[in-house]
Amino acid sequence: MSLKIFTPMLKLIWLITMLLISLIEILPFNSDNVPVIVFYSYKLLKAALFVAFGFETPLTFWRFDSIRAGLLMTLLSTLIIECIQNMSTGHSSSGLELLAKGALIMFGFVLAFNPRYDHELSVFGVHVQLIPSQKV
């Protein structure tokens, strides 16, 4: 199995992930009236989206090929997300939340480095060959 990286399709998937994160951050979630399983599923989804966003970035954009670029992208992304969240009703900024989001994005970014340079992604025994397309 193979997957082309640095393609317009991966850019679209990256954009959809970013929009989902923004939507989840903007829409208020009232945790008072939901079962515990729903609350923790919501939190897990948020965490997974932040890690996925970080993971997708170096596989989507060929220029993000160093930790320095990852740190810059993480900082900008978390600041933008916090600004979006601040503009919505019912949310407030938190330094701890900013650090947690940044850590999750950076974790995903670092996880994608080996597959990017090895040109192979292995998940639960499934091996996917990563084929770089033209650097666009």
**What would the pLDDT profile of 74-104 be if each residue is shown by its tens digit?**
788 888 877 877 776 656 667 888 888 889 9
CA angle 8, 122, 115 (to 5 degrees): 55
Tell me the β-bridge partners of 121: 128
Handedness of CA 134, 2, 114, 82 (dihedral sign): positive
**How many angstroms separate the CA atoms of 43 and 127, rounded?**
29
Encoding tokens for residue 52? 């996925």
Mean pLDDT of the chain: 85
Q: What amino acid is encoded at 92 in this protein?
A: S
**How many angstroms separate the CA atoms of 136 and 106, rounded?**
23
Half-sphere exposure (CA, 13 Å, Cβ side) for 126? 6
Mean pLDDT of the region 50-73: 85
Number of domains in the chain: 1
**How many angstroms separate the CA atoms of 117 and 124, rounded?**
19
> Looking at the predicted structure, is the pLDDT value of residue 136 above 50?
no
Residues 43-56 have pLDDT tens digits of: 999 999 999 999 99
Residue 43's domain spans which residues? 2-132
